[in-house]
Amino acid sequence: MNIQEFLKEDIDLQKSSSVSPIFYIKKYWRYWYLLLIGGLVCVGMAFVYLYYTPDQYEIQTTIMINTSGEKKGEFSNNAVLDDLEGYQSSKIIENEIEVLTSVSIMRSVLEELSLYNFYYVENGYHRFREIYGEEVPFRIEFHELSARPQSKGGMFKFIIQDHEGFIIEQENGKKSQHKFGERLKNFYGEFTVTAKPEIGDAAHREVYVSFNNVRELAFEYSDNISAESINKLATVISLSLVEAIPEKGEDILTKLVDVYNREALKNLNSTAANTLTFIDEQMASLTAELAEIELAAEKYKNEHSISDLSSESQLYLESSRTVKQQLSEYNIKAEVLNSLEENLKNDGNANKMVQSSLLIEDATLSDLVRKFNELQRERQRLLNATTPGNPIIKNLDEQLTGLKDDILDNIQSNKRSLEIAKRSLEDNAGKIERRANRVPQIERELLNITRQQATKQENYLYLMKKREESVLSLAATTISNARIIDPAMASLYPVRPLKKIVLAFSVILGFGLPIGFIYLKERFYGKIGQKSDLEALTRVPIMGEISHGRKKELTLYTPSQKTLIGEQVNLIWSNMKFATLRKPNQVILTTSSIGGEGKTFFSINLARVLSLSGKKVALLEFDLRKPALLKSLNIKTKTGITDYLRDESCPVRDVLNMSDINPNIFLVGAGHIPNNPMQVMNSPRIETLIQELKESFDYVIIDSAPIGLVADAYALSPYVDILVYMVRYYYTEPSHIKLLNEIEKHEKFKNPMVVLNDAKAEHHYAYGYGYYYGEKTGRGNGKVHVS
């Protein structure tokens, strides 16, 4: 392992080591004025906040919600709602919490407590304290409120003069004189101001009154009230409110529970009333329908001549049977008459008797038939004793013929009578049969009417019964929805504002904001401010740091006392020698990203440190564009590097200038500034110049142009043994280190090293610089040399 690798491992070890807190303290203490301002501003704001923020107390109450299973008298459990679908209910604690914190409930609370106004009195410089209850010397009673009062009505100042009058002063300074009891009107509505009996002894003669928009105030209180379930297995709810006046907070929570119970009972009664109204409406409708059905049944029976359908049906059957029997009898009588008529008309039966029948009900016909048969028997008897020509026989024949004609006439008459009677019976039979055939239809239609009537009657009786049960259940519904376990009580001490926390937070914020600002500024918009920042950006080894001083001085003389800058440069040189294995006759080039990073200052101080050890040093001003080395030492020369490079006949000794105050240091100025420095830098005489100087001097130090601005220094790369890259704290940007990494990566220079300039106290947490600097060791003016 070579020395360069060893140094890099040591740097990696330093990166992984922890940083002392003192490092950060020193880092940020550099901005002590920002920390002081931030702390004073934040603490001052905290005191202002605490001054104007009134103490607030937490008011709590605990209630237990009565669930449906516990309230036997609750309307939702009565028989009606058990039987009517859609009326079953069960309480959920979350639902009750939503109801308790609803805006509508809170608005009712504010209106019932008449919190249309808040009252304040002066309590210090531009500070007000709210008063409430008995502390207010008067009352404001509203007769009429505006439909939508404005949200911000401003503060009205009430100045009490005596028992009879007061003055109202508006925010614009306008005043008006009024009397107590006078009816007043403003944007909020019409109101009357009434003096309390103890107004003469009132401590507050000037009271500021605000007119609240109750709607907006309800939203505000609804958001501020906290309601939560104590236990998932219980129905207990804890309500809390933070309020500046404990009495007002207790009144609000107490009234909240009261309004909640009343609204719940009202809602319950409303449900019951709606249910009873529904039942009454249904009963009225059923009564009308029953009347219509009964009227329809009566009309139907009248239209169909129905008194008792079953009896009439039986009667129809018996009548039909009787008519049929009578028709049968009529048919038999007709057959008898027909038979009798045929016997009488048959010539073969002229001298025979006519067979009589008991079915002949006509007495005349029966009598004629009987006489006819008697005459036939008489004739037969006489024929036995005489001849047919006997006058007696002829007389009998004439009588028989007459009787026969009478019988036939009588038969015809009877037949006509039977026919008429038969047709009448047949008509009656048809009517009876048709009536009997319609009985099922009539019975079905009547049954349908009867069924509707029965259904309506059952519904009517059911609703009558449930109505009585509902009335009884409603009368028993008087239990509160919530039972108060702990009444509303305010905390003994204010819960807001938390003064200690506010002050502690203000202190933390007062220092945190500046620190955060400093961190972000340095992180995103700042420069390289810490050695660790540079170590994170590059692998090039860091040789050391040069401290910041209050006075800047560049000189080559040997001081009479040890200086901090000298010791630091000496330490840096020791590290450089260790890194280059103490190689003699070295060419050291100092450069930087941009101007002002201290390359000229380091070159001069390095030359001085080397001269102290008896080494001869050649210090070259190779910044041909903006030379500053000799100017900073107040040295003027006529010839320089450009003259040597242009004039091949110019020897090296002509450009060497020995220092008047340090014989071991020779200076080579830049000479006349060329128009094209890059062309001059490409001169082959540079190699001759460097070679001759190495032969004559122990060390050659080149102060070159900033390598981040121009490429002049690259022309010296082949002749350089050590590249010293200057980085200045809080000056060099992180993007500039990319150029250094590119040099290291592509080996554009040998042995690149970094020196940190302008280190302050915050960067020296690991070193003991300056613990003896200030003690005189000999002659000298004690000046400290700084960048």
Over residues 150-198, the pLDDT tens digits come to 655 568 999 988 888 899 998 888 999 999 999 998 888 889 999 888 7
pLDDT at 239: 94
| Contact residues for 194 (Cβ-Cβ < 8 A; gap 6+) | 138, 139, 140, 141, 180, 181
Top pLDDT among 697 and 302 is at: 697
pLDDT at 72: 42
Within a domain: 255: no
| Partners of residue 668 on adjacent β-strands | 620
For residue 728, the enclosing domain spans: 531-763
pLDDT at 277: 80
Nearest alpha carbon to residue 572 among 729, 754, 766: 754
Within a domain: 38: no
| pLDDT band at 464; cut points 50, 70, 90 | confident
pLDDT at 717: 92
- Mean pLDDT for the stretch of residues 535-547: 90
225-234 contact pairs (CB < 8 A, 24+): 225/100, 225/101, 225/106, 225/256, 227/97, 227/100, 227/101, 228/97, 229/93, 229/94, 229/97, 230/62, 234/64
Nearest alpha carbon to residue 103 among 263, 251, 223: 223
Is residue 419 predicted with pLDDT exceeding 50? yes
pLDDT at 58: 94
In a shared domain, residues 320 and 392: yes
Label the pairing between strands 189-195 and 206-211. unpaired
Nearest alpha carbon to residue 329 among 425, 434, 410: 425
| pLDDT band at 74; cut points 50, 70, 90 | very low
In a shared domain, residues 418 and 555: no
Which among 157, 182, 211 is the end of a domain? 211
Is residue 400 predicted with pLDDT exceeding 70? yes
| 731-742: pLDDT as tens digits | 888 888 999 999
Q: Count how many domains the chain has.
A: 3
Is residue 351 predicted with pLDDT exceeding 90? no
In a shared domain, residues 461 and 540: no
| pLDDT band at 349; cut points 50, 70, 90 | low
Using CA atoms, how far apart are residues 419 and 658, in angstroms rounded to an integer?
Answer: 183
Within a domain: 621: yes
Within a domain: 157: yes
Q: At 542, which CATH number?
A: 3.40.50.300
Which of 394-403, 531-540, 761-770 is most confident? 531-540
Using CA atoms, how far apart are residues 642 and 193, in angstroms rounded to an integer?
Answer: 101
Question: Euclidean distance between the first and final Cα of the chain, in Å?
Answer: 36
Within a domain: 660: yes
- Mean pLDDT for the stretch of residues 472-486: 73
| pLDDT band at 542; cut points 50, 70, 90 | very high
Which among 174, 190, 211 is the end of a domain? 211
pLDDT at 768: 41
pLDDT at 779: 34
In a shared domain, residues 455 and 551: no
703, 603 Cβ separation under 8 angstroms: yes
pLDDT at 561: 63
| pLDDT band at 76; cut points 50, 70, 90 | very low
Q: Which helix (H) or strand (E) holds 477?
A: none
HEC assignment per residue over 497-563: CCHHHHHHHHHHHHHHHHHHHHHHHHHHHCCCCCHHHHHHHCCCCEEEEEECCCCCCCCCCCCCCCC
In a shared domain, residues 428 and 550: no
Nearest alpha carbon to residue 432 among 326, 302, 335, 332: 326
Q: Is 93 left (phi over 0), alpha (psi -120 to 50) or beta?
A: alpha
pLDDT at 105: 93
Which of 311-315, 449-453, 719-723 is most confident? 719-723
Residue 650 has which token pair?
């110019």
Within a domain: 65: no
| pLDDT band at 478; cut points 50, 70, 90 | low
| 613-663: pLDDT as tens digits | 889 999 999 998 889 888 888 888 878 999 899 888 889 888 899 888 888
The alpha carbon of 610 is separated from its chain's Cα centroid by a whole number of angstroms, namely 75
Nearest alpha carbon to residue 415 among 344, 332, 349: 332
In a shared domain, residues 329 and 433: yes
Residue 61 has which token pair?
């109450």
Is residue 726 predicted with pLDDT exceeding 80? yes
522, 283 Cβ separation under 8 angstroms: no
| Contact residues for 151 (Cβ-Cβ < 8 A; gap 6+) | 213, 216
In a shared domain, residues 542 and 680: yes
pLDDT at 767: 44
| 274-323: pLDDT as tens digits | 777 888 888 888 888 888 887 877 777 676 666 555 555 566 556 666 76
Q: In this prediction, what percent of the chain has a pLDDT beyond 90?
A: 30
Using CA atoms, how far apart are residues 253 and 228, in angstroms rounded to an integer?
Answer: 14
Note if the bond before 718 is cis, omega within 30 degrees: no
- Mean pLDDT for the stretch of residues 361-371: 76
pLDDT at 475: 64
Q: Give the burial string for 693-723 (b: 16+ CB within 10 Å, else e).
A: bbeebbbbbbbbbbbbebebbbbbeebbbbb
In a shared domain, residues 321 and 207: no
670, 676 Cβ separation under 8 angstroms: no
Within a domain: 413: yes
155, 120 Cβ separation under 8 angstroms: yes
Mean pLDDT, rounded, of the chain:
80
Using CA atoms, how far apart are residues 396 and 399, in angstroms rounded to an integer?
Answer: 5
690, 704 Cβ separation under 8 angstroms: no
| 503-534: pLDDT as tens digits | 999 999 999 999 888 888 776 666 887 888 88
In a shared domain, residues 466 and 537: no
81, 473 Cβ separation under 8 angstroms: no
pLDDT at 84: 47
DSSP conformational letter for 201: G
| pLDDT band at 769; cut points 50, 70, 90 | very low
782, 563 Cβ separation under 8 angstroms: no
| pLDDT band at 716; cut points 50, 70, 90 | very high
| 79-107: pLDDT as tens digits | 444 554 444 344 578 888 999 999 999 99
Q: In this prediction, what percent of the chain has a pLDDT beyond 70?
A: 79
pLDDT at 689: 92
712, 704 Cβ separation under 8 angstroms: yes
In a shared domain, residues 542 and 471: no
In a shared domain, residues 438 and 565: no
pLDDT at 503: 93
Which among 211, 230, 245 is the end of a domain? 211
Total count of residues recorded for the chain: 787
In a shared domain, residues 732 and 600: yes
Residue 309 has which token pair?
């359908």
pLDDT at 226: 93
| 671-694: pLDDT as tens digits | 888 888 888 888 889 999 999 999
Top pLDDT among 559 and 265 is at: 265
Within a domain: 518: no
Is residue 217 predicted with pLDDT exceeding 60? yes
Is residue 336 predicted with pLDDT exceeding 80? no
Using CA atoms, how far apart are residues 219 and 114, in angstroms rounded to an integer?
Answer: 16
CA quadruple 23, 26, 31, 34: dihedral, nearest 10: 90
- Mean pLDDT for the stretch of residues 549-557: 63
Residue 170 has which token pair?
């508006």
